[in-house]
Amino acid sequence: MQVAEIRNHHTILFQVFLISARGILGGLFLFSAAVKIVSFSNFIDSVYQYHIVPLALVPWFAFAVVCSELFFGVLFLFNRTARVGGFGLSALLILFIVAIIISMIRGLSGDCGCFGEMFKSKIGWKLLLKDIATCTCIFGISQIKVGE
């Protein structure tokens, strides 16, 4: 195998990796939004338990989170819009990270509400580190376009 063939082979593998990673991570947010839509009242309760958003705004904030996950999750899937989608998803994750940190400082340890009633995760270090890692991956992947 010649050097040019090896580079081409690695480039194709890298492009497959990027497309797969965007599909998995974008799909994760689409799935999360879908689960929240199905049990929206439970998600409203999860948002309320953080005691960060004023009570009157909790349903609107919950709605905005779900819409943002859907919107930016879809944008992240496509090459032309991956950068904007990644920026939006990273911003959402930073918002979630701040909420987790505030809750940990306050001593709260309830369910995060990430995936509704389907998969429960407790507020804590494990969730915080997972969100930081996910944010880092999404932001990094969003900066690379397939085919460049």
pLDDT in tens, 52-75: 999 999 999 999 999 999 999 999
The percentage of the chain sitting over the pLDDT mark of 90, rounded to a whole number, equals 68
Question: In whole angstroms, what is the distance from residue 44 CA to residue 64 CA?
Answer: 11
Which range has the top average pLDDT, 23-37, 117-131, 134-148? 23-37
pLDDT digits (tens, 9 = 90+) for 89-115: 999 999 999 999 999 999 988 887 777
Give the model's pLDDT for residue 6. Answer: 45
Overall number of domains in the chain = 1
Tokens of 15: 């492009």
Domain for residue 148, yes or no? no
Domain for residue 35, yes or no? yes
Domain for residue 43, yes or no? yes
Q: Residue 30 pLDDT more than 50? A: yes
Domain for residue 147, yes or no? no
More confident residue, 134 or 115: 134
Per the confidence metrics, is the pTM higher than 0.85?
yes
In the predicted model, what is the mean pLDDT of the chain? 88
Domain for residue 44, yes or no? yes
Residue range of the domain that includes 30: 3-142
DSSP H helices in the chain? 3-38, 40-49, 58-77, 82-106, 125-142
User: How buried is residue 89: exposed, middle or buried, by Cβ count under 10 Å (0-12/13-18/19+)?
Assistant: buried
Question: pLDDT class for 148, splitting at 50, 70, 90?
Answer: low
Question: In whole angstroms, what is the distance from residue 68 CA to residue 123 CA?
Answer: 21
